[in-house]
Structures are given as structure tokens and as C-alpha cells.
Structure 1
Amino acid sequence: MVPISRQSLQKIPLSYASCSIGCKASDTLPRRLEAISNAGFLSIELSFPDIIEYGSQLVGHSIPPENFSEIIPVAANIRKLCDANALTIMMLQPFANFEGWTKGSIEREDAIAKAKGWISVMKAVGTDLLQVGATDTPEENISIERDTIVSDLRELGELLAESDFRLAYENWCWSTHAPGWKEVWEIVREVNLPNVGLCLDTFQSCGSEWGDPTTTSGLIESVSQDQLQANFKASMQELSRTVPADKIYLLQISDAYKVSPPLENKTLGGLRPRGRWSHDYRPMPYDGGYLPIEEFARAVLQTGFKGWFSMEIFDGGPEGKGRKYEMDSFAKKAMENMQKLLDNCATE
């Protein structure tokens, strides 16, 4: 394993997801970008819904997500806003539910058309990286055969490569076929394209193989706590030993609240329990969460990774019902806590 010095961690570039700040109507995208920049972050993950929302404010009517003729000028405008705030756009996100559709189906054709539209948006905002979440489409509607998944993602990777763009594949802890880091790494390895790598996430992986929002303990209870800890430690050792640093494109940072009372163990509003957990119960590090995010971040760094650490939080408070704050102080606290996380990951 690669030793981690505090000096080396000072070179880690820091980003912030545009969708991860703001709690009231006056917290517009221009204000959010200003707060993120003032806190010292260098770049943003640009959320596609933020483009739609900001564009709708500009033109005075709702913009459908497939109306790229209206979206692209908005995207170009956002690039100028970022330039004015000394921010780059590190990645466009979250592209989802691409893989697994039946060949020739309307859903498959729509997914490809959507990908081409998002590539146009990437050109407009000046980013070369697209985040793709492991599909959460119900299994009865898609194929989760590994060969199909790999073939579909290879096709998307080749489409992105035509523009010298990259694909960052992320495990979502409620995904139909790839909830853990190991599943997405195996898929990326089989896709075997130079422009297809990983988007890892402290919440998604710790929330997949350590935490559980449907139990009183907040932990996976199908094994003893001792065994759970042993399994997680072994998983982290395997990650740091087997994943090449250059196949990790970024690490997203967030923690999770222990949900009390636990979430119902069923799909509600189209979201599985871990999906609801992800949507509303994700604070920044050291702000009320309980997942072993330091251990996960340290394992990623021990691969030799020195790329983006990006804050992506969805903090609805411990009850998931919303939280009020002032953006400037919130963004500055996020930077302080990110620096604390980095410092705590050092091994020498």
C-alpha cells in the first residue's frame, strides 16, 4: 500500500457539487457558485437539473430535459459564470439508467439520444468528464447480465471518446446490479477502454457494505458486528491493492445520518430505502454522520490516487426533512471539514 503523507494531500484538488448547497429560493445558481468559490474550492460538479432550473429562470418558462436547443445556450452561460468565479467544471452529472435496455427498444433509443445531448452540453460547459450512475431501473425492466452491461457501457465510452471525453462510472448503493465499488470496478475493467474509469463515493460504498438505513443499529445486521468490521477492512485492503490509481477519476465525499426511526424496508415513491437515504440524509464529514468514511477515503488514497476530492452532500438534517443555513458559512465549513478529512487520512 502507498504511504500517505500530509504534504502530498495538500496537492489534492477540491471540488464541490453544484446541487449540494442551497436551501431556499434565493440560493440561486450564481449565488451558489459564488459561495463555493469564496470557500476556496477550485471546481464544480455541474448537476444537469441545476442547468434546467437556472435556464427556466432565465427564459421564464420550464425547459424540458430533452430540449437541448434551449439547454445548450444556458450551459454556455453557466460556463461564463464559472469563469467569473474562477471555477472550472470538472464533471457533468448525474447521467443514469443507460445500461441494460433491450436492443432496439424505445428506452434504448432514448438513452442513446440523451447521451448525445449530454455530450453537447459537455462541450458547451467545457468539461471532459461524464458521471454515469449504475442503473437503478427495476430488474424486471432491463437485463442485468454482465455481458450486456459491459457492452452498453463500452458503447457509451466509445461515443464519448469521439469527443475525447471520459466516463466516470459510479456504484449507487441502491443500484439494481452494482451497489458496491467492487462491482463497478469489475465492470470498468471488462469494458477495458482508456477513457472509462471510476467515480468512487464515500457514502455509496460505506452505505452499501457497512451501513443500512432500515435497521435500528444503522448497520448491516445479516452478520455479526465483528464480522461486518472484518469484511469492511478486507474490502478496503482489496480496493487499495487492486484498483489502479489512474482508473479512479474522482472521489465524492459525504457521510450519512443514522436514521431513527429506521426507514421502511420497501420501495416508496420509486426509491428503495438506500435511495431515500442518499437523497436526504447525507451531511458533510464531521457534521453528524456515522459511516467509516475516513477508512474508505484512506483506502482510495493508498492506491496512489491524487485526483479530485469532491463534496457531494444532500443534508436534509437527521430527520431528512430539510435544514436551514447560510450558504457562505456552510461552504466554508465544508472546506474546513474537507481539510480535516484529508489530514485524518494521512498515514505519515
Structure 2
Amino acid sequence: MGSMKPLSLQQIPFSYASCSIGCGPSDTLPRRLEAIGRAGFKAIELSFPDILDYGEHLLGHPIQPNDYNELTSVAREIRTLCKANGLSVMMLQPFANFEGWPKDSPERKDVFERAAGWIEIMKVVGTDILQVGATDTPADKISIDRSTIVSDLRELGEMLAKHKFRLAYENWCWSTHAPGWKEVWEIVREVNLPNVGLCLDTFQTAGSEWGDPTSPTGLIRNVPENELKKKFAASMKELALTIPADKIYLLQISDAYKVSPPLEDKVVDGLRPQGRWSHDYRPMPYDGGYLPIEDIARAVLQTGFRGWFSMEIFDAGPQGKGKKYEMEPFAKKAMENMQKLLKNCDPSR
């Protein structure tokens, strides 16, 4: 376990995902960055769709997701906007469905070309972290053989290392092969590169081991609640004891609504139920959710980690139908609730 440094609020830098605020087209990227900066956050996770959207607004026409000349010129403008609001870009996200494609497939060629293009964007916006989500491509299209997954991620890690960049690998709770923190940690350990680590996430961790949006109780089915609590506590203890602090690059923070009525257990618009839950039902801490997010944050801090806490929420209200709010008070509340979370999880208390 990492050395238990005393925890002060000042030690933990706070970031906010650019895609996690705003209710509609009038909440443009410049206005979102202003609200995030005024609330006191120090950095953003820059979401790739935000580059595309802002680029269309800036250039007056849609940008192709592989037009890296146009994308880098837009990224340069975004960096300037961030600077004007006292923000840096902590990470570029979300790089999805990267690993496991067959060796000579067009998909594998495409993801490596995309990686090269995103590296150019990273140079321009001034970030050194690329977030990769554990793929949710169906298992009949990709290999979920561990050695293939590890080999692909190692190759990407080596590409990033040439630029002194890092890869933050995240479990998505609906991933085909790595829904939990333990699977992504085992993969990162096997990749065994100094610049490949973890993006941990309170929602994704609880969404794979605690909650279930298709269940009437909101909890994983067929496990008695007291048994579930015990298993989850054991998992968090294991996380705290096994992951070295320097292998965690950030902790993303969000809660989840208990969905009522529960989501249907089927794929809709290409998304599994947990994917839909992630997309629309994720409020900030202390704002209506029910997941044991303090237990997760406490376990991460017990490793000795003192890096980024990053707000990544997708709050379309308890019914997932949309939610209206003013961005500045919303961002300020997010900052207050982030600080409350940190105080409540202070291992020295």
C-alpha cells in the first residue's frame, strides 16, 4: 500500500469533463469552459465530440472525425479558450473500441490511424493523457483473448511513449471483456509499461460490482444485500492493497440514479442497459444517487493516490429524460460536492 500522506484538500487537483455540463445547443463550449473555470476547477477532460461540435461552430461546416488538419486547428482554439478561463487540458477522451480487432482487419488499421491522429490533437491541446475505455465491441467481432488485448494496448502505450504521453485505461461496466477495476488492473499490470495506468471511476466500479439498472432493487440480482455489501467491501479493500498509487492517473467522480421503472435488459441503439444507464442517469455526488461512491473514493485514497479527482457526470434527471439548469450555479455546486466527497473520504479522519 502507498505511504499514507496526510490529506489536505489542496493536494487533490479537481478537473471537470467538458461533456458533463450543459442542457442544450445554447450551452456552447466557450460558455461551459467559463462556468467550469469560475467554479474553481483547474483542468478539463476534453471530450472528442466537443472538438467536433465546436469545430463546426467555428468553421461553419461539419468536420470529419479523421480530418486531423481541421481538428488540430480547432484544438488550438480550445487550448486558448481554456487558458483564458484558467484551465488546462488534463486528458483527451473517450477513445473507444480500440483493442482486440483481428490482425489484418480494416478496423485494426483504423484504430491505429485514429490513435496517431489523436496524438496530434494531444500535442496541440497540451495534454499528456489519452483515456481508453475497455472495448464494448461484441465478442463475435473481436478477440477477447487476454494476450491479444495486452499486446494491442502495449503497442498503443509504446506509440504514446515516443511523445512522453500516457495511456489511462478505464473499465466500462458494460465492457465485453473488462467491466471491473480488477480486470483493467490485471491488463495494465501485464502490459507492464511505465506510461500505462488506470482511469478509475466511481460509477464504473459500482456499476460492475454493486448496481444494476435492470433490477427492481437497483442492486445486482440474486445476491442477498448483506452478502453484496461484504463482497463489495472486500473488493475495495483489495483495490486499496493491490494497486500502486502511481498506477492510478485519475479518479472520475459520479453517482447514479436508481432507475424506476428498471431499464429493459436488452440492447437499445447499440447500447447495453449499463451503457444507457451511464449515458443519462449519472448525477454528481449527493444529488440523488445511491451508489457507494465514498467507499470507492476512500479505497483509491488509501492506495496513497493524491492525483486528479475529475467530475464526469451525465445527469438527464432521474427518468433520463433531460434536466434544465443554469451552468454557473451547477458547476459551483459540483465543486462544493466534490470538496464534500473528499472531506468525507479523508482517511486521516
TM category (shorter chain) comes to over 0.9
Q: Deviations over 1:27-57 (max 9, x none)?
A: 1001100000000000000000000000000
**Could you say which residue in structure 1 is the equivalent of 2:307?**
307
- What's the offset of the Cα at 1:290? 0.1
The SS at the match of 1:318 is coil
The verdict on how the C-alpha distance between 1:332 and 1:265 changes in structure 2, with shifts beyond 3 A counting, is same
1:267 aligns with 2:264: no
AA of the residue aligned to 1:52 = L
Give deviations 1:230-273, integer Å, cap 9, x for gaps. Answer: 11000000000000000000000000000000000011110000
Amino acid corresponding to residue 159 of structure 2 in structure 1: L
Q: Provide the rounded CA distance (Å) in 2 between the counterparts of 1:3 and 1:290.
A: 31
Residue 222 of structure 1: CA displacement?
2.3
Kept after mapping to 2: 8 A contact 1:17/1:46 = yes
Cα 1:3–1:194 shift into 2, 3 Å: closer
Unaligned runs of 5+ in 1: none
Residue in 2 that maps onto 1:54: 54
Which position in structure 1 is the counterpart of 2:8? 8
**How far 1:7 sits from its partner (Å)?**
4.4
Secondary structure, in 3 states, of the residue corresponding to 1:300? helix
Corresponding letter in the other structure for 2:112: I
Name the structure 2 match of 1:325.
325
Equivalent position of 1:217 in the other structure: 217
User: Residues of 1 paired with 2:55 and 2:222: CA distance?
Assistant: 46
Matches within 5 A, 1:77-92: 77-92=77-92
Residue 321 (structure 1) shift: 0.7
Contact 1:4 1:345 in 2 (8 A): no
Amino acid at match of 1:204: Q
Cα offset, 1:134, TM superposition: 0.1
C-alpha distance in structure 1 between counterparts of 2:20 and 2:138, whole Å: 27
The residue number in structure 1 matching 2:66 is: 66
The Cα offsets for residues 77-97 of structure 1, whole Å up to 9 and x where unpaired, read as: 100111111101000000011
Are 2:205 and 1:186 aligned? Answer: no
Taking the aligned partners of 2:72 and 2:3, their CA distance within structure 1 comes to 44
Give the counterpart letter for 2:310 in structure 1.
S
> Secondary structure at the residue paired with 2:335?
helix
Counterpart of 1:91 in structure 2: which amino acid?
M
Any idea what SS the aligned residue of 2:258 has?
A: coil
Aligned to 2:177: 177
Shift of 1:226: 1.2
Does the CA contact (< 8 Å) of 2:236 and 2:296 recur in 1?
yes
Contact 2:2 2:244 in 1 (8 A): no
Aligned residue pairs, count = 348
Aligned to 2:129: 129
Large movers: runs of 4+ above 2 Å: 1-10
Structure 2 unaligned spans of 5+: none
Identity of aligned residues (%): 73
Contact 1:6/1:343 (<8 A) preserved: no
Query: Who is 2:284 aligned against?
Result: 284
**What is the match of residue 230 of structure 1?**
230
State the shift of 1:10 in Å: 3.1
Give the aligned residue type for 1:201: D
Q: Letter of the 1:10 partner, please give it.
A: Q
Give the corresponding residue for 2:103: 103
- Cα distance in 2 for partners of 1:126, 1:5 equals 29
Over aligned residue pairs, what C-alpha RMSD do you find?
1.1
Inter-partner Cα distance in structure 1 for 2:3 and 2:187? 28
Q: Which moved more, 1:272-281 or 1:6-15?
A: 6-15
Asked whether the equivalents of residues 9 and 339 of structure 2 are also in contact (C-alpha less than 8 Å), the reply is no
Q: Which residue in the other structure is 1:94 paired with?
A: 94
Task: Give the Cα–Cα distance (whole angstroms) in 1 for the partners of residues 306 and 233 of structure 2.
Answer: 22
Partners of 1:233 and 1:219 in 2: how far apart?
15
Taking the aligned partners of 2:311 and 2:111, their CA distance within structure 1 comes to 28
Cα displacement (A) at 1:4 = 6.7
SS in 2 for 1:79: helix
3-state SS of the aligned residue for 2:11? Answer: coil
Counterpart of 1:203, as a letter, is F
Report the alpha carbon displacement of residue 24 of structure 1 after superposing the two structures with TM.
Answer: 2.0
